[in-house]
Amino acid sequence: MITTSSMLAVKAGTDNFPYADERFADLQMLRYQVHGFDNLSLQQKKFVYYLSEAALTGRDILWDQNGRYNLRLRQMLETVYTDYQGDRTSADFRAFEVYLKRVWFSNGIHHHYGCDKFVPGFSEDFLRMALNSVDQSKLPLAEGQTVEQMVAELFPVIFDPTVMPKRTNQADGQDLVLTSAANYYGEGVTQAEAETFYLNMKEANPDPAHPVMFGMNSRLVKDANGKLVENVWRSGGLYGAAIDRIIHWLELAQGVAENDKQSAVIGKLIEYYRTGNLHTFDDYTILWVQATEGMVDFVNGFTESYGDPLGMKASWEGMANFKDLEATRRTETLSGNAQWFEDNSPVDSRFKKEECKGITAKVIVAAMLGGDLYPSTAIGINLPNSNWVRAEHGSKSVTIGNLTDAYNKAAHGNGFQEEFVIDAATLAIIRQYADACDDLHTDLHECLGHGSGKLLPGVDADSLKAYGSAIEEARADLFGLYYVADPKLVELGLTPNGEAYKSQYYTYMMNGLMTQLVRIEQGAEIEEAHMRNRALIAHWTLAHASLEAQQQGTKPAVELIKREGKTYVQINDYAALRRLFGQLLAEIQRVKSEGDFEGARQLIETYAVKIDPQLHAEVLERYSALNLAPYKGFINPVYVVERDSAGEITDIKVTYGETYADQMLRYSRDYRTLPVVNE
């Protein structure tokens, strides 16, 4: 599971590093600094470098997972971008350039967050003319195809709003598989067929207490006889060419691992990539959780299932990182007290873990982002996702310090908070404590929230189906919200005083009720799991605060008020708000532990999907006046390898100058691993 940044606002950096880079559409590109890389030993630098290459090498897999035409369209668009000799200053070409940059950012033709297909700002005539003007051998023509035939095949995918309109559709009541463009299910496979297929698999499982992550690493398709079969992503299978190249880099990494445990982890991952066996995958994750010594670590593989409408199939992602020793002391304090937090949470004791084991937490420095972590990325990661592995072996939780730092540095002084925060006193608390409390909330969410609680015996981990991701994120966020205000944190030296948490409470409610709406187009609903989670928490507490106030004849703990025509969040009673967070945490944990699908559906559909159109319009208008981009992503650094005359690596330097477009074009060239024309 991941935590995404809710930071919405960005302008300029506050030190000399160029945190903010180019801006287009609704996107702001940032850069992150790899603090401390120069201080690593040569062996550690090599280790990071090989893992970085492995992280970049799966890029094409993700593009194909996000939609079956994406690799082909990428090659077509990039050829026009690099080779078109006509007027490159025309409105059409400029709109085309923005479109391509958005496609790069999303690893496909659908918005990375909203999942809607991009609407091109250039004409079909322009693109046809441009395609006819470039060298045909560079175009992704199917066998024997002319440019005109390719245009006839691919243009509807770009221009027709009814063709593949959504990457991942979460709309209640529709066939989520048939209506999603993501490439996880083959032609004609329905939601009911897919659900039955995996239900049968689970029922046939001889060891139901230790289920593998069924369906996680395959595309489910119909064979020639219409029978459902899994095309497994493995060496020699689907995506085998890309996976073999990932294995190559992993083998080099294994050769420079810092210790035997790390080496065993990588060896097991390679075995899994070779076989596609999900039991081997579980073995790998167990080794990965236990490998806590050493500076360097990584994520590499089919990991998160947010992109599958049924929440099973995992998108490919990669990251190389190393420990931030200073900041890790903070998370070690939390994980060292994990049992205290579990025992004292407001959750029913039936749903609590008797023994919190193996929760390790650290703050890391991201050295390279790849696959589904690039360019839009997480600021916290908690893995593995398998419930029984987490319960029996623990989980590893990381906060990515240098990315949070880049978001924060880039956001200072841009007018966002001045616009949306209710008054100077609240603003002062936020200015003083928000950065630190945001980090702490992320730590609590990752190290303790996701790791807390347990399912009742016999409850299927997938019972909440399409609502599972949002409920799980809400559970982790609420755990963080409840505890960020706890005197225990002051006692542990993690918050400076009993007031600092108010910055987190205010910004969280403001985001959930109002400002996160800037990421959504007028008229649309909330679909993304993290956004649904924030809306759920904010709207549930708002509604219950209002109910309590009516019953008791007091002021509500939190309310929306109007001042000079503008809406603001007003918190009247922070302690009461904390109590409401605790109540909702208890309820959400019950829903999760009991596998109460109907309870999950009620909560999400009541509080987390619909948007008040009037408030939405107001927020969009106030936000657009600030001229800020609602989404951020990162340009990666470039590692320059220095070698002696015998070809041995003598040093590796980290550099930051590459432009966004150059990086994307280089990745498409150097990490091209899959055929672009589908068989």
Which spans of this chain sit near Zn ion (rule: CB under 5 A)?
1, 3, 473, 476
- Phi/psi for 218 (5° steps) reads -155, 160
Kindly write down the DSSP assignment for every residue of 6-23, as one continuous string. Answer: --------SSSS--EEEE
Q: DSSP string of 279-308?
A: HHHHHHHHHHHH---SSEEEEEEEEE-TTS
Complex with Zn ion: residue 3 or 567, whichever CB lies closer: 3
Q: Which is nearer to Zn ion, 451 or 637 (CB)?
A: 451
In the complex, the smallest distance separating the C-beta of residue 315 from Zn ion, rounded to whole angstroms, is 15
Q: Least CB distance from residue 386 to Zn ion, whole Å?
A: 15
Residue 636 tokens read as 């990666």
In the complex with Zn ion, which residue's Cβ is closer, 127 or 478?
478
Q: How far apart are the first and last CA of the chain?
A: 33
Nearer to Zn ion, 382 or 515 (CB): 382
Question: In this structure, how many other beta carbons lie within 10 angstroms of the beta carbon of residue 606?
Answer: 13
Q: How far is the CB of 441 from Zn ion (least distance, A)?
A: 11
Which of 473/527 has CB closer to Zn ion? 473
Compute φ and ψ for 562, nearest 5 degrees. -110, 135
The amino acid occupying position 582 is: G
Tell me the C-alpha distance between 43 and 49, whole Å: 10
Report the distance separating Cα 630 and Cα 517, nearest Å. 10
Regarding beta strands 27-31 and 631-635, do their DSSP bridges make them parallel or antiparallel, or are they unpaired?
A: parallel
Dihedral pair phi/psi, residue 109, rounded to 5°: -95, 5
SS3 state at 371: strand
Name the residue with the smallest CB distance to Zn ion.
Answer: 1
Q: How far is the CB of 323 from Zn ion (least distance, A)?
A: 21
The CB-of-446 to Zn ion minimum distance in angstroms stands at 7
Backbone Cα Rg of the chain: 24
Nearer to Zn ion, 180 or 397 (CB): 397
Specify the residue, 254 or 360, whose C-beta has the smaller distance to Zn ion: 360
The pair of three-digit structure tokens given for residue 481, joined into one six-digit string: 């919200």
Nearer to Zn ion, 309 or 451 (CB): 451
CB of 478 to Zn ion, least distance (A): 11
Least distance in Å: CB of 622 to Zn ion? 29
CA distance 184 to 542: 38
Cis peptide before 630 (omega within 30 of 0): no
Tell me the C-alpha distance between 511 and 507, whole Å.
Answer: 6
